[in-house]
Amino acid sequence: MKNRRSPLCLVVLAAVLSACTGPADPPGTEPTGPEPSGHAQESTSEFDREPCAPASTTELAAALTEPFGIIAAAPLVPQGSPAVLSADEAGPGATAGCEYRLLAEGSDSSEAYHEISVRVVRLGSGGPELMSSCEDAAAAEPLRYRLLELADGACAGTGAVVCMLVGATYYSITAAAIPGRADQTDEELRLGTLAEAAGTVLADRLPAT
């Protein structure tokens, strides 16, 4: 005798298989993993080896989008992977650094603020002098430069540079626009808000010693 399954049995079987395998992805889509993120580091030697590990480009794009929207009325999107900077590339007094590139969504390469560069650098020397200079500027022109409640002390100073003290270690965070505006009036203040936003992501992740 042939083994015939009733329609009801087939419906029940299909329901069981669907529950086991879960819903299928819509056509033309691929499963996506978690957004990349950085992590806190334990030592300055770890930072010097992997200066881009504390934050991902995706995280910085998210953190900078709100202040950037005030400047350029556009969201920021990640532009590739962050680039490790050698001591020479990072600048005077630096041990190592990382550069993040972000794009203004929907902008043209000829437009001001098409691309934003954020550099995070550990200062092996010159950190106390940079902080002192920034504090003096904040005291003299409090409407332009200011102290920030980040890490163990921070200051937003000239040149869109945030100097940050973490434990006994100094870092600088700098924001730059590519290309910048033709009118440079208050440019460092606008870009300084981006450096400050980056600092909020990095303050608890950069190593203290």
Q: Is there a contact between 103 and 117 (Cβ–Cβ < 8 Å)?
A: no
Q: Which one is predicted more confidently, 22 or 48?
A: 48
DSSP state of 159: G
In 3-state terms, what secondary structure has residue 171? strand
Average pLDDT over residues 36-40: 86
Average pLDDT over residues 158-177: 96
pLDDT tens figures, 1-14: 444 444 444 344 34
The pTM assigned to this predicted structure is 0.81
> Distance between CA 119 and CA 97 in Å, rounded?
7
Give the count of beta carbons closer than 10 Å to the beta carbon of residue 186.
Answer: 11
Please, where are the H alpha helices in the chain? 7-21, 44-49, 57-72, 87-90, 127-140, 187-202
Please determine, for residue 148, whether its predicted confidence score (pLDDT) is greater than 80: yes
Q: Is there a contact between 131 and 153 (Cβ–Cβ < 8 Å)?
A: yes
Return mean pLDDT, the chain. Answer: 86
- pLDDT given at position 35: 55
Tokens of 152: 């163990």
One-letter amino acid for residue 123 of the chain: L
Closest alpha carbon to 202 in 48, 20, 76, 47 = 47
Average pLDDT over residues 132-153: 95
Please determine, for residue 21, whether its predicted confidence score (pLDDT) is greater than 90: no
186: pLDDT confidence band, cut at 50, 70 and 90? Answer: confident
> Distance between CA 108 and CA 92 in Å, rounded?
33
33: pLDDT confidence band, cut at 50, 70 and 90? Answer: very low
Which sequence spans correspond to the domains of the chain? 44-202
- pLDDT given at position 180: 87
Closest alpha carbon to 117 in 168, 63, 173 = 173
pLDDT tens figures, 49-103: 999 999 999 999 999 999 999 999 899 999 999 999 999 999 999 999 999 999 9
In 3-state terms, what secondary structure has residue 172? strand
Please determine, for residue 199, whether its predicted confidence score (pLDDT) is greater than 60: yes
